[in-house]
Amino acid sequence: MPVSYQTELLLPGLSSCFDLAQTLDCGQAFRWRLQPDGSWRGVAHGRLLTLRHSAADILLLGLSPDDYHTVWQRYFDLDRDYPALQAALSVDPALRAAIAYAPGIRVLRQDPWETLCTFIISANNNIPRIKGIVERLCLLLGDPLDDGCHAFPTPAQLAAADEASLSPLRCGYRARYLLDAAEQVARGRLPMAEAAELPTAELRLALQGVLGVGPKVADCVLLFGFGRVECCPMDTWMRKVMATLYPDGLPAQLLPYAGLAQQYLFHYARSHPSLFPA
DNA sequence: TACCAGGGCCTTT
DNA sequence: AAAGGCCATGGT
């Protein structure tokens, strides 16, 4: 019986550039839930984690000692200097306002396979329903973890399913798309490990070879799954942002970080719909 | 280029 | 309680 060395880890002073609600509930990840005690609990990379704010600090609870360096440091993008990034983006007035509104947003670096599936599910859908579908998918096919939680299913686990067996997900026409993704990844036509080495344009094309993956979903996978921070998913909200604030495109000096800029602008627009008319 | 493809969440009445 | 709008789109 292996002993599980559960521990706690304090990230001192990190609350100023890492707000749990802003980061975990802004529509980039779908497996984090606010607990009655104010903490956030979720699963990533097959590991259960609880986080909470404690004064100016972030507290990670219930992780194994090695998991900070092997998993969570990268997942929460903790090597990026967000204060410096935000200062650089703030040369633009609109972006300065968007960052001031939610300075605690970070862009996560999620598992590419899980990101591919969850953003296929996100198409023409809303966040509460996406969360429900993803939860039912994990419960149905993912390996069990503690407390009734489940890992995200592997490509092989999902590829072994069929449309009928996915009906409990109630994801409608997207079931077929999920199965196509699983088959392409499981059969090695879209190898996720090797994909990480591809240039962005090439990787985008490969992703769009999956049913249900168009330009917007592909860019979400590139940004949130493959850490390609120059990719800027253009959804209905970002189209409104561009039409209202940047009719001639984003300022050129921001393009290398367009995806990060997008996350602040997207959240700001969603929170102030009247400022961004259709 | 339209239009169609589950289903449910949320707001309004 | 019922109704209708809406939804981080993509395929045909």
Q: Which amino acid is at A35?
A: Q
Give me the residue label for tokens 């979903």.
Answer: A217
Alpha-carbon distances of A201 from A118, A215, A228, A230, rounded to whole Å: 21, 11, 11, 11
Beta-carbon neighbour count of residue A5 at 10 Å?
Answer: 9
**Mean pLDDT of all residues in chain A?**
95
Beta-carbon neighbour count of residue A79 at 10 Å?
Answer: 8
How far: A14 CA to B11 C1' (Å)?
37
A131 has catalytic annotation: no
Phi and psi angles of residue A49, each rounded to the nearest 5 degrees, phi first: -145, 145
Out of A45, A74, A216, A270, the active site residue is A216
Strand C nucleotides where any atom sits below 7 Å of a protein CB:
6-11
How far: A149 CA to B4 C1' (Å)?
36
pLDDT, tens digit, for every residue of A239-263?
Answer: 999 999 999 999 999 999 999 999 9
Task: Assign 3-state DSSP to chain A and report helix, strand, coil percentages, each to 5.
Answer: 50, 10, 35
Of the given ranges (A19-23, A24-28, A32-36, A273-277), which has the lowest mean pLDDT? A273-277
pTM of the predicted structure, to 2 decimals: 0.96
Query: Nearest nt to A175, CA vs C1'?
Result: B6
Contacts of A102 (CB under 8 A, 6+ apart): A19, A22, A26, A264, A267, A268, A271
- At residue A4, the pLDDT reads 56
Query: Nearest nt to A125, CA vs C1'?
Result: C7
Query: Nearest nt to A270, CA vs C1'?
Result: C8
